[in-house]
Amino acid sequence: MGADPDSRFVEIYESTYEPILGYVLRRCPHPEDAADVVAETFTTAWRRIEELPEGDEARLWLYGVARRVLANHRRGERRHEQRTAALRERLAISPALTRPPEDEISQMGRAFRDLTDDDRELLSLVAWERLDHGQIARMLGVSRNAVRIRLYRARKRFARGLARAGIDHPRAVALEGSSL
């Protein structure tokens, strides 16, 4: 610790903005909506700067906040704020964020989308955020064992969904390094 709140926030913002933006973008139906979710996430961090854990744990803490902000966002609490107008515009026109047309989305994508929110989030945290069981446990506030069991079940359900979708060899689908 030791750093004043301003310096600490700047340091955390600079080191976590990109992973948090990525986390939110991957889960937001519209890229421009991500601006407000990111803004609210970091506003919470600013207001609770004394509570933020040190090092990379701050990123996990922020994933947890972003997850809750996104849940509220999906409940219809959409606020487009003046302070995010410029960022919204940037995200809306960014070529890197152009989504593929619907017909290009694979059968694997459809099976993944049909999972429950909880299953999809767990698998995403492994495949997209590259978190291990311990990190997921700290982010979600549950035990490592609970993560292990839930992940095992989520993988099974995903494998069944793939089989139903006609993908005969679900083991061909890698979950970022490890097969299903």
Q: List interacting residues with other proteins (CB under 8 A).
A: 5-6, 9-10, 13-14, 17-19, 21-22, 25-26, 29-30, 35, 38-40, 42-44, 46-49, 51, 64-65, 68-69, 71-72, 74-77, 83-84, 86-87, 89-90, 96-97, 99-100, 102, 106, 108-110, 112-114, 117, 120, 123-124, 127-128, 167, 172-176
Output 69 or 137, the one with its CB closest to other proteins. Answer: 69
Question: CB of residue 146 vs other proteins: minimum separation in angstroms?
Answer: 19
Nearest distance from residue 28's CB to other proteins, in Å? 10
Of 35 and 58, which CB lies nearer to other proteins in the complex structure? 35
- Quote the least distance from Cβ 1 to other proteins, whole Å: 16
Least separation, in Å, of the C-beta of 143 and other proteins?
A: 19
- To the nearest whole angstrom, how small is the minimum distance from the Cβ of residue 106 to other proteins? 8
The string of DSSP letters for the chain reads: --S-HHHHHHHHHHHHHHHHHHHHHTT-SSHHHHHHHHHHHHHHHHHTGGGPPSTTHHHHHHHHHHHHHHHHHHTT-----GGGHHHHHHHHH-GGGPPPPGGGS-HHHHHHHTS-HHHHHHHHHHHTS---HHHHHHHHTS-HHHHHHHHHHHHHHHHHHHHHTT-S-GGGSEETTEE-
Q: Are 140 and 93 in contact (CB under 8 A)?
A: no
Kindly state the tokens that stand for 22. Answer: 């990525």
Whose Cβ is closer to other proteins: residue 110's or residue 148's? Answer: 110
For other proteins, the closer of residues 90 and 157 by Cβ is 90
Q: Which two tokens stand for residue 79?
A: 């606020």
> Cβ closer to other proteins: 112 or 150?
112
